[in-house]
Amino acid sequence: MEEAIDMTATIVTIGDELLIGQIVNTNASWIGEQLTLRGVDVIRTVTVGDSPSMIKDELGRALENGRIAILTGGLGPTHDDVTKHAVAEFFGDRLTRRQDVLDAVEARFASRGIRVLDVNRDQALAPESFKAVVNRAGTAPALLRRTKTPKGEGLVALLPGVPHEMKHFMEEAVLPEIETLGEHGAIAHRTLLTAGLGESLVHERLAGIDELLGDDVSLAYLPNIHGVRVRATVRAATAEEAERRRDEVTVWIRERLGVLVYGEGSDTLEGALGRMLRERNYTIAVAESCTGGLVAHRITNVAGASDYMVGGIVSYGNSVKSSLLGVDATVLAEHGAVSEQVARCMAEGVRSALGSDTALSTTGIMGPGGGTPDKPVGTVWVGLALPDRTEARLLRLGTSRLRNKERAAAQTMNELRILLGEGA
């Protein structure tokens, strides 16, 4: 296991546009994920501008603290692309011209009928100690070299910043090269998605899990607006061993959390709800007041949702609640639009108007205005109509209108999912 800890990497992304926030750094997260999946421990990701001294600095730190340094960006043909020159200086390399790269660049321009400029030809210059890999999707080659590091044989890779070029080189050149750096164990991980409890309560439900954890098994809690994601990471000598222990831990967690777990990885609440409806051969319709269409939007984000989604009614004005959903004017007058009674009538009304098996409804005060001492901003009633009965739930949300809509939509779908999961 010693070696597993040593297979550490730093990702250096280069470009002023990243520092000033003009673009989001999706390259760093993608590379981080790919390395992690192959058992490499990403210890640091750093972004610097197109500055030779800072690039050399970061490369130096990366090779002091780990065995792999992946640099992206700054390999283009313009004057602010300095990565290649900085790295050549770092290793004391001259730049040498690579005929295969030059041929590929010229062929690429010829096939498009564009004149090749000197700056384009300079794409074929590479630091002499680096291998240049021809770019089939662009002009800048990938540049790779092995190097000694305090932790063992290492690798430096320079890749273009254009995401699809970078990904291609990672898959074709960098990841295979990393495989050859030596046995470095395996990592297995799994993320369970939960909805219905806050972070500290999920934590409490998992009391006792510490006995399963240790240096090579770790757990992270990642809350977002839809719930709490619980990620288990296991490190072991072989992939089989890592996966076996990962499964052990996640089975344990699933037993404790039960129906709170709605999926894994990139699953969604609407996807989980859709699967349940499909299994039961149920259709669904929605009647939305306070969520204003968001529940219908999320349900129809799922490809193939038309198999079970009949449609919805956004009853923003009270007149629509009466005319299309058949909510009795006296119920509205007596209990108010934000009430358990109206939520139930809306769910039953849309189920009947659209002829679905199940239905959801939302009615609430999203803010910033409209609150009363009795029904403050954040008060939401949701209705859950099943084929044979109707239930309602009271949600107490916050004061941010947009977050309230998101939370109400997620919790409403989750409540129906739980009801169906409990056998409804």
* Sites for a second copy among residues 294-333 (CB under 8 A): 294-297, 299-301, 303-306, 309-317, 319-320, 324
Is 389 a binding residue for a second copy by CB under 8 A? The answer is no
Is 97 a binding residue for a second copy by CB under 8 A? The answer is no
| CB 13, min distance to a second copy, A | 9
| CB 399, min distance to a second copy, A | 8
3-state secondary structure the chain: CHHHHHCEEEEEEECHHHHCCCCCCHHHHHHHHHHHHCCCEEEEEEEECCCHHHHHHHHHHHHHHCCEEEEECCCCCCCCCCHHHHHHHHHCCCEEECHHHHHHHHHHHHHHCCCCCHHHHHHHEEECCCEEECCCCCCCCEEEEEEEECCEEEEEEEECCCHHHHHHHHHHHHHHHHHCCCCCCEEEEEEEEECCCCHHHHHHHCCCHHHHCECCEEEEEEEECCEEEEEEEEEECCHHHHHHHHHHHHHHHHHHHHHHEEEECCCCHHHHHHHHHHHHCCCEEEEECCCCCHHHHHHCCCCCHHHCEEEEEECCCHHHHHHCCCCCHHHHHHHCCCCHHHHHHHHHHHHHHHCCCEEEEEEECCCCCCCCCCCCCCEEEEEEECCCCEEEEEEECCCCHHHHHHHHHHHHHHHHHHHHHCCC
Residues 242-281 that bind a second copy (CB under 8 A): none
Q: Estimate to the nearest angstrom the gap between the alpha carbon of 183 and the chain centroid.
A: 29
Nearest residue (CB) to a second copy, 92 versus 304: 304
Residue of 43, 110, 329, 333 that binds a second copy (CB under 8 A): 43
| CB 27, min distance to a second copy, A | 10
Residue of 4, 48, 365, 382 that binds a second copy (CB under 8 A): 48
Residue of 31, 173, 193, 418 that binds a second copy (CB under 8 A): 31
Residues 131-150 that bind a second copy (CB under 8 A): 137
Is 164 a binding residue for a second copy by CB under 8 A? The answer is yes
Nearest residue (CB) to a second copy, 152 versus 293: 293
Residues 395-414 that bind a second copy (CB under 8 A): 396, 398, 400-403, 405
Contacts of 151 (CB under 8 A, 6+ apart): 6, 8, 66, 67
Is 162 a binding residue for a second copy by CB under 8 A? The answer is yes
Instruction: Give the chain's radius of gyration (CA, Å).
Output: 28
User: How far, in Å, are 62, 239, 294 from residue 37 at the CA level?
Assistant: 20, 10, 35
Residue of 96, 120, 147, 322 that binds a second copy (CB under 8 A): 120
Residue of 1, 119, 329, 333 that binds a second copy (CB under 8 A): 119
Residue of 199, 241, 243, 267 that binds a second copy (CB under 8 A): 199
Residue of 203, 275, 278, 280 that binds a second copy (CB under 8 A): 203
Residue of 111, 180, 281, 330 that binds a second copy (CB under 8 A): 111
Number of residues interacting with a second copy: please give it, by CB under 8 A: 98
Nearest residue (CB) to a second copy, 222 versus 333: 222
Residues 357-376 that bind a second copy (CB under 8 A): 367-369
Is 176 a binding residue for a second copy by CB under 8 A? The answer is no
Residue of 5, 38, 54, 391 that binds a second copy (CB under 8 A): 54
| CB 159, min distance to a second copy, A | 16
Is 103 a binding residue for a second copy by CB under 8 A? The answer is no
Is 110 a binding residue for a second copy by CB under 8 A? The answer is no
Residue of 3, 38, 45, 352 that binds a second copy (CB under 8 A): 45
